[in-house]
Structure 1
Amino acid sequence: MRRRLIAAFLALGSALPLAAQDTSPGERLPVVRHVLPNGMTFLFLRRAGAPTVSFVTQFRAGGVDEWTGISGTAHLFEHMLFKGTPTLGTRDHAAEQRMFPRIDAVADSLTQEFRKGEAADTAVMRRLRERLRQLEDSARGFVVSNELDRVLTRNGAVNLNASTFNDGTNYFFSLPANRAELWFALEGDRIKNPVLREFYSERDVVMEERRLRVETQPFGLLREEFLQAAFRAHPYGRPVVGLASEIQAVSRNSAIEYFRRYYGPNNSVVAIVGDIDVDQMRRWADQYFGSIPSGEPHRPVVTQEPAQRGERRIEVEYDANPLLMIGYHVPEAMHPDSRALSMLASILTGGRTSRLVARLVVQQRAAQQIAAGLQPGSRYPRLFTFTGVPVAPHTTQEIETAVYEELERIQREPPTDFEMTRVRNQIEASGVRRLDGSIGLAFQFASSEALYNDWKTSFRFDREVLAVTPADVQRVARTYFSRNNRTVATLVRPAAAATRGGIN
């Protein structure tokens, strides 16, 4: 049945290439948009077939929305939303609430001492950490650990998870169709009444994630330094996982303030896809979410990154194989040039026959990987990046040289019709695949609506990329890919480690 649905939509425009159609198959999906008076947006798509329903909730609340001093809070709050509510995850909510002020007071004292830096009294900090651990252990006696997860799992939930990124945070899972109302009851409760229990121990978990993802991971370490070098003003240069000094100092009250600012229903989008009765979904949306007061409007970032006026180069020392990142400042996703930039990325690294992959990976065997893309977000001006991993004895300099030569080649001569056709065929094929799978569609709907206020935008974007001409690609290559607009970061072994490995 699922395959027949896809085929039916493709048949609507099968007589013409996608680039020539007024709308793509994705844009023609019968999505029902339902907006509550408080501004919360629901997107429903009925897909007959498997008796399951996928739910994706996306909040316009990401790392870019944090203010100075609380980096990592968006990610930390993602963890907190799994801790439960006054009625879920607790044996005695009133008793644990009475303990929170005592716990917070000790945590605040620890933070004050920590912020003294080298002047901090390590013995005082050790005593405060131990006291904080004891109080949280006492409060944990009232906690029913992982109750939300257990309730959902007992009712057949799969893929229960969440993710935080620069432009937002999403929460997602799938349920059997006959358990769909459970999502409304639980999600409505935790959005209205989250309880930030086990806050400081979970803060330690987030700190450990930073160590694993960044401080002991070569690519994570390089990427963090690279983005900080490229963005000197805009918060895209700040790591989503947070800075170590700020993670260790963020308070429960700061997290509550972040929630108050950004987790209002008017800053959320819910996509529900699967074997559903759309009218029933509407009624449950009104019943479980309609009474939540509207929150503050989303506050867009007003800081603009100044124009870069010279190449920036950094080296990051770490005892690992070398890595390379190159980035050029380019506009946000909704800028008209983003379509041609996307086409350029595919021409250069989209598959084994693309220019850089064919040259560096297939023919010269100089690189394990070479990839181009647009990051670290979509809502604001961002970077067109290259990431390269050399194969010994080849070097990052060889990869860097090849990147510049291929960019200069496109600046001189536009891509060929053969290259354009290859990329268009890839896009059209992926356009078919992206219609298959309820959870994937729900992610696309929620993301597009949350970022661009229109669930169709991501589908429309692909259709507009197909209309890009060779002259468009050449124009953006000439516009953005100059030396003065470039940041280059390389991971290199420390001198002592390189000598031990026999590298001069």
Structure 2
Amino acid sequence: MNISKITLDVQEMKFNNGLKLLLLEDHNAPIVTFQIWYKVGSRNERPGITGISHLFEHMMFKGSQKIGPEEHSRKINAIGGRENAFTLWDVTTYYEVIPSEHLELAIFLESERLQNLNLVPQTLQSEREVVKEERRLRTDNDPVGLALEQLFAMAFMAHSYHWPIVGWMSDLDAITLNDCKEYYATYYAPNNATIIVVGDFKKKQALSMLKKYFGSIKNEAIPPEVTTKEPGQKGIRRGDVKVIAEAPIILAGFKTPPAADKDNYVLKVASSLLSNGESSRIYKSLIYDKQLAAEAGGEIFALKDYGLYFAYALVNPDAYIDEVEKYLINECERLKSDTIPEEELQKAKNQLEADYIFDLASVYGKAIQLGTAEIIYGNWQKVQEMPEKLQQVTANDIKKIAQKYFNKELLTVIRVIPEN
């Protein structure tokens, strides 16, 4: 596969209140997605209110002046659409995917909760308990979730990527209604948001509706910048997590650069070589060749301020955890000296490109890629460049990037030790 640069006819504009718009017509099917991306996530929090971004995502579905609790969801479901939201380190995003004739409904609903959200003690208390239960299920009682939390906490000692998106339990208990009101006033403003509309609509009509519902919303003071920098790491960081688990688990994470850094194109290919599927190096080495692990893989997190590539292995009952750790890290470090065969390199690039093109096949996927590129990578136009940039990566590029980032000085290792 070798696709030339993608061209997307995105119309970019900004209202006087600072709200940015990205509009992309796609008339292949009579559906449209409406998304609003707020430039706030767990990186914008502080000790004492960690988890408030995700908690607030829940509260945004609990009604406003004109819309009752959960009515937003019911209205979208009634027209055959779907809606949801997600909170990450750098963004909080709300979206609808609906029949195109109902675009105005989605625009109205999102504008209503942006400016008229009901913030009451009962909502805070109920959603606090929902989020706490979510934390118990996905982190406290999940060995992998707990290990990932510890990996970030140890890899980032100073920067706000240190704490989990779901927040620390004590902070979830401590967040007040005033904290929520201050957070809403600071970050939920048109000048801190980007609206993305992709699908079966006409620009002129959509722009008219957007002006009607969003154009007069007052902007707010620019939110404070995240100024804390992560100091340089001086050596390997290690941590053991003792929990009830079926088998030992190892996570090895290397710090990588911010999402906007051009090195991330090469790191994506390196990640694919190491840990994308059953033909990847880590999987073949630990599962097929040495039979040391029951599961193995990895993933790269390209975030706004810093990144992290991590590899993992679920250790077989008859294997030694130290031996598995050694081979897991060795596979990453081998890229520093190996000359990658052209066939293996091309396969990794093709896998990435195929996944990317598949994402762009739907209106929802196009909008997600545009939002990610705009808010996290710094410019929506990087969506158009991605396939070409991936295909330009060479074996020598992989070697140089591995020498730069896959070093013990940037390594954090977390081991899950079954206490049972």
* TM-score, structure 2 as length reference: 0.94
CA distance in 2, matches of 1:332, 1:396: 32
CA distance in 2, matches of 1:442, 1:390: 38
Please list the CA deviations of residues 42-99 of structure 1 after superposition, one character each: whole Å capped at 9, or x if unmatched. Answer: 222222232221122111110110122100100111011111111221xxxxxxxxxx
Counterpart check, 1:268 vs 2:193: yes
TM-superposed deviation, 1:361: 2.3
Counterpart check, 1:156 vs 2:135: no
The match for 2:63 among 81, 84, 100 is: 84
CA distance in 2, matches of 1:207, 1:156: 31
Counterpart check, 1:182 vs 2:161: no
Q: Report the CA distance shift for 1:364/1:58 in structure 2 as closer, same or farther (over 3 A).
A: same
User: Superposition RMSD on alpha carbons, in Å?
Assistant: 1.8
CA distance in 2, matches of 1:469, 1:163: 35
Q: Do 2:333 and 2:407's aligned partners in 1 also have CA atoms closer than 8 Å?
A: no
Amino acid paired to 1:31? V
Q: Do 2:282 and 2:331's aligned partners in 1 also have CA atoms closer than 8 Å?
A: yes
CA distance in 2, matches of 1:77, 1:432: 33
Counterpart check, 1:353 vs 2:305: no
CA distance in 2, matches of 1:288, 1:397: 59
Please list the CA deviations of residues 168-193 of structure 1 after superposition, one character each: whole Å capped at 9, or x if unmatched. Answer: 11111211111111111111111011
- Any gaps of 5 or more consecutive residues in structure 2? none
**Which 10-residue stretch deviates more, 350-359 or 271-280?**
350-359
Counterpart check, 1:43 vs 2:22: yes
Q: Do 1:262 and 1:296's aligned partners in 2 also have CA atoms closer than 8 Å?
A: no
Q: Which protein is richer in helix relative to its size? A: 1
Q: Do 1:81 and 1:190's aligned partners in 2 also have CA atoms closer than 8 Å?
A: yes
TM-superposed deviation, 1:250: 0.3
**Equivalent position of 1:63 in the other structure:** 42
Aligned ranges 1:299-378 → 2 under 5 Å: 299-320=224-245, 321-375=247-301, 378=303
Amino acid paired to 1:397? D
**Equivalent position of 1:450 in the other structure:** 375
CA distance in 1, matches of 2:387, 2:88: 22
Please list the CA deviations of residues 383-435 of structure 1 after superposition, one character each: whole Å capped at 9, or x if unmatched. Answer: 22112212322343333222232233322233222222112222332343222
TM-superposed deviation, 1:281: 0.5
CA distance in 1, matches of 2:296, 2:359: 24
SS of 1:248's partner is helix
TM-superposed deviation, 1:205: 1.4
Q: Do 2:312 and 2:328's aligned partners in 1 also have CA atoms closer than 8 Å?
A: no
CA distance in 2, matches of 1:452, 1:336: 10
CA distance in 1, matches of 2:299, 2:277: 13
Counterpart check, 1:170 vs 2:93: yes
SS of 1:412's partner is coil
CA distance in 1, matches of 2:377, 2:17: 19
Q: Do 1:32 and 1:43's aligned partners in 2 also have CA atoms closer than 8 Å?
A: yes
Amino acid paired to 2:326? T
SS of 1:411's partner is coil
Question: How many pairs are equivalent?
Answer: 417
The match for 1:211 among 132, 136, 139 is: 136
Q: Do 1:389 and 1:396's aligned partners in 2 also have CA atoms closer than 8 Å?
A: no
**Equivalent position of 1:31 in the other structure:** 10
- Any gaps of 5 or more consecutive residues in structure 1? 1-13, 90-144, 498-504
Amino acid paired to 1:35? K
Q: Do 1:424 and 1:466's aligned partners in 2 also have CA atoms closer than 8 Å?
A: yes
Q: Do 1:227 and 1:238's aligned partners in 2 also have CA atoms closer than 8 Å?
A: yes
* TM-score, structure 1 as length reference: 0.79
CA distance in 2, matches of 1:449, 1:287: 24
CA distance in 2, matches of 1:151, 1:482: 52
**Equivalent position of 2:352 in the other structure:** 427
Amino acid paired to 2:291? R
Q: Do 2:37 and 2:195's aligned partners in 1 also have CA atoms closer than 8 Å?
A: yes
The match for 2:170 among 245, 256, 260 is: 245
CA distance in 1, matches of 2:384, 2:222: 26
Q: Do 1:63 and 1:167's aligned partners in 2 also have CA atoms closer than 8 Å?
A: yes
CA distance in 2, matches of 1:240, 1:407: 27
CA distance in 1, matches of 2:377, 2:328: 32
SS of 2:376's partner is helix
**Which 10-residue stretch deviates more, 434-443 or 408-417?**
408-417
TM-superposed deviation, 1:298: 4.2
TM-superposed deviation, 1:451: 2.1
What percentage of aligned pairs have identical amino acids? 32
